[in-house]
Amino acid sequence: MSDTSSNRPARRGVDVIKDNIKRLPSKPGVYRMFGTKDEVLYVGKARNLKARVSNYSRLGGHTQRIAAMIALTARMEFVVTETETEALLLEASLIKSLKPRFNILLRDDKSFPYILIRRDHDYPQILKYRGSKQDRGDYFGPFASANAVTRTLDTLQKAFLLRTCEDSVFSQRTRPCMLHQIKRCSAPCVDLVSEEDYTKLANQAADFLKGKATDLQADLASDMEAAAENMEFERAASLRDRIRALAVVRAQQDINPDGIEEADIFAIAMEGGQSAVQVFFIRAGQNWGATIHFPRHEKEETAPEILSAFLVQFYDKRPPPKLVLTNQAPDQGELIAEALELKSNRKVEIRTPQRGDKRELVAQATRNAAEALSRKLAETASQQRLLKDLAKTFDLSGEPRRVEVYDNSHIQGSNAVGGMVVAGPEGFIKGQYRKFNIKDTALEPGDDYGMMREVMRRRFKRLLKEADEQKVMISELETYPDLVLIDGGLGQLSAVTETLTELGLSTDDVTLVSIAKGPDRNAGREKFFRPGKAPFQLPPDTPVLYYLQRLRDEAHRWAIGAHRAKRSADIKSSPLDEIEGIGPSRKKALLHHFGSAKGVSRAKLVDLESVEGISRSLAERIYGHFNGG
């Protein structure tokens, strides 16, 4: 249901809302408000759509944010649901995907890693895992970070000697790998452990991650004493090492004193119109790490409102635990709990503890949130001072809200990549980083100027296209840079200036600055170039110079990383990938049969035909590819 009629005169604000109210049912649902450029302004849910949307038709009594949102509304769309709970879940999903301007947004959101013990192989593999749980096996998590998983996996290998290698590597081993030599794998690939004993190790690892560490350590200690009494000293030493490794994991994970088996703890702190939400993960009676978030919201939003929006977005793609503890009661907490139960098909409780160990655990999370917010505010204030100095240094009309920094990376022209990093009032905006695989085959290897021309041409052509589609000036785009910083000297600056001129842009439209490394690449003696102005240097040891160096170094790091990833992918590519009709399955069959791509290239036609899945015509195509046929 939407206000989309092309015969009506263009409306905005309250007129649009009043027109939609006439056709709205008194049922639960979700509504979306759109601006004149068809951008989503706001997503909301309602128990009664007609009553909820009618509130926006009043001329007074709104906050400044809501009044601005109403004034910008050009059309609305609606989805009717069976229940308010379904509306809440749909609202969370739409907010996360559309990121509306006037909604509270969970930023820096990503999937959390798990530990997976795969059970689809006779010898289970233990590994770090992200994404949907499609593989058969035991999943343990979430962990707060990849580093937390890596540390735990590292110690679990010492304790349980489970393999981490892929099946393809496992099946081709003829002797133990280095991990066996350093006592981190029992080498099931070469039958140094029986399937029964290996399965026991996998089950012990699962029991430990399920919180049965105390019983497990007692059993291992008993086995160690028995081995020592039987003078099986090598086995006793091995068991001793495993017990020590388990103790390390338990120390790292900090056993929860309250005895909570499974819970997520959320604590919000607010100051200066900003907020921080600290999250602790408790699983199997163990603390599996913490993470901090800084939601985007308006200054007038309250802590219960922010926490409510945060929770539904946080669990949009994640299974909730049985217990959710918060330092403040979220708005509509019972409805959120009901929605989480609907998603997970089990009982979920949201509580704000008032006493006891649970309250102390929440208080600890609150202290962490407050400290993180204080650091964030200090960084923001420092960043604002730097941007003010940057505006003064380069004669900008105001503090830049978006700075784009460019660099190229290659080795003698191969695997050339251009990198763009973005910075703003809150520091580096990593979600806006971009890489440009250099596509111009006419470029001479190592032509830095030509590579920079291609990167700038592609970047600003895209901006011009977006401006044309939105029917606005290019400078009105949210992604338009207030300052473009180029790693290089006068040559790179000239190349960029020429490219922008070809696109119909001038140096009046874009503020360009190139930064050249000092003599002998001496940091602190950089020279800055601007179109039509004499080059200059900044006094050493000044904050704005350090900031510009950080921007340049981040662009350099990003471009090198993109280049290395491309080079690595190039190295891993196989000549078989170039042959039509060779997919992953046939490629795997050929490599297993002949051992390598080189082995395939040397194979006779009749040998190629003998491989499962390779027909006569395909064998001829493979043979011809390698032998010029």
Distance CA 95, CA 103 (A): 7
Residue 457 lies in a domain: yes
Q: Residue 152 falls within a domain, yes or no?
A: no
Query: Which whole number is the average pLDDT over 152-163?
Result: 84
DSSP-based three-state secondary structure for 421: strand
Find the mean pLDDT for residues 524-552. 88
515 close to 493: Cβ distance less than 8 angstroms:
no
Query: How many residues would you count in the chain?
Result: 629
pLDDT band at residue 3 under the 50/70/90 scheme: very low
Judge if 558 and 544 occupy the same domain. Answer: yes
Question: Is the same domain home to 330 and 420?
Answer: no
Q: How many domains does the chain have?
A: 4
Most confident of 23-32, 204-213, 225-234, 461-470: 23-32
Burial of 134 per CB tally in 10 Å (0-12, 13-18, 19+) = exposed
In a domain, 140, yes or no: no
Examine the pLDDT at 302 and tell me if it is beyond 60.
yes
List the CATH number of the domain containing 22.
3.40.1440.10
Work out the pLDDT band at 233, boundaries 50, 70, 90: confident
Is the pLDDT at 526 greater than 80? The verdict is: yes
Residue 500 confidence (pLDDT): 92
Listed ranges 25-34, 167-176, 462-471, 584-593; the one with the highest mean pLDDT: 25-34
Q: Is residue 48 part of a domain?
A: yes
The answer to whether residue 78 is domain-embedded is: yes
Tell whether 323 and 357 lie within a shared domain: yes
Same structural domain, 475 and 549: yes
Query: Do 439 and 551 sit in the same domain of this protein?
Result: yes
Whole-number pLDDT of residue 216: 75
**Residue pair 274/302 in contact by the 8 Å Cβ criterion:** no
- The amino acid present at 626, given as its one-letter code, is F
User: Which pLDDT does position 9 carry in this prediction?
Assistant: 47
Do 277 and 423 sit in the same domain of this protein? Answer: no
Tell me: do 585 and 561 sit in the same domain.
no
CB 250 within 8 A of CB 244: no
**DSSP of 278-321, one letter per residue?**
EEEEEETTEEEEEEEE--B--TT--HHHHHHHHHHHHTSSS---
Residue type, 343: K
**Averaging pLDDT over each range in 311-320, 490-499, 519-528, 592-601, which range is the top one?**
490-499
Q: What pLDDT was estimated at residue 77?
A: 93
Do 343 and 410 fall into the same domain? no
**What is the predicted pLDDT for the residue at 108?**
64
Residues 50, 71 within the same domain: yes
Kindly report the pTM of this predicted structure: 0.66
- CATH code for the domain of 614: 1.10.150.20
Does residue 586 sit within a domain? yes
Residues 415, 350 share a domain:
no
Instruction: Please report whether residue 82 resides in a domain.
Output: yes
Domain boundary pick from 531, 552, 569: 569
Residue 512 above 90 pLDDT? Answer: yes
From first CA to last CA, the distance across the chain in angstroms is: 61
3-state secondary structure of 58: coil
Q: 54 exposed, middle or buried (CB, 10 Å; 0-12, 13-18, 19+)?
A: middle
Q: What is the pLDDT of residues 545-580, one digit of tens each?
A: 989 998 999 999 999 988 888 777 665 667 787 788
CA–CA distance, 503 with 497 (Å, rounded to integer): 10
Q: How far apart, in whole angstroms, are the C-alpha atoms of residue 66 and residue 124?
A: 55
The predicted-structure confidence for 391-449, as pLDDT tens digits, reads as follows 999 989 889 999 999 998 877 666 788 999 999 888 888 889 999 988 887 778 778 89
Residue 234 within any structural domain of the chain: no
On whether both 502 and 584 belong to a single domain, the answer is: no
Task: Show which of 65, 88, 103 is a domain's final residue.
Answer: 103
Cα–Cα separations (whole angstroms), residue 392 to 90, 395, 544, 550: 46, 5, 10, 18
Residue-range definition of the domain harbouring residue 592:
575-627
DSSP-derived pairing of the beta strands 414-424 and 512-516: unpaired
Beta bridge partners of 516: 527
CATH of the domain at 431: 3.30.420.340
Note whether 562 and 593 are same-domain residues: no
